[in-house]
């Protein structure tokens, strides 16, 4: 995922979903959380460092190895 640099949970999750064409429900299933949890992240609820790593791993699993300019690399803790 290149070209954008989201800095908060809302932007990170939206960028990942947009890039891979995932619904909130599909992303939730991949991360083993509820759709409501994903919706909360997109509304700006904080996500943990562990969740950020899970999103990074998911991005890798979905077939795109991240580069230093990718949004998940620059996300705030």
Average pLDDT over every residue of 62-73: 52
Q: Which stretches of the chain are DSSP H helices?
A: 9-20, 24-31, 35-42, 49-61
Query: What is the pLDDT at residue 25?
Result: 95
How many whole angstroms separate alpha carbon 61 and alpha carbon 69? 18
pTM for the whole structure:
0.66
pLDDT at 21 over 90: no
């Amino acid at each position: 995922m290149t070209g954008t640099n989201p800095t908060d949970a809302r932007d990170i999750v939206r960028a990942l979903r947009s890039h891979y064409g995932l619904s909130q429900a599909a992303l939730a299933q991949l991360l083993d959380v509820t759709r409501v949890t994903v919706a909360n992240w997109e509304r700006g609820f904080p996500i943990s460092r562990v969740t950020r790593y899970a999103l990074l791993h998911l991005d890798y699993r979905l077939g795109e190895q991240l580069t230093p300019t990718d949004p998940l690399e620059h996300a705030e803790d």
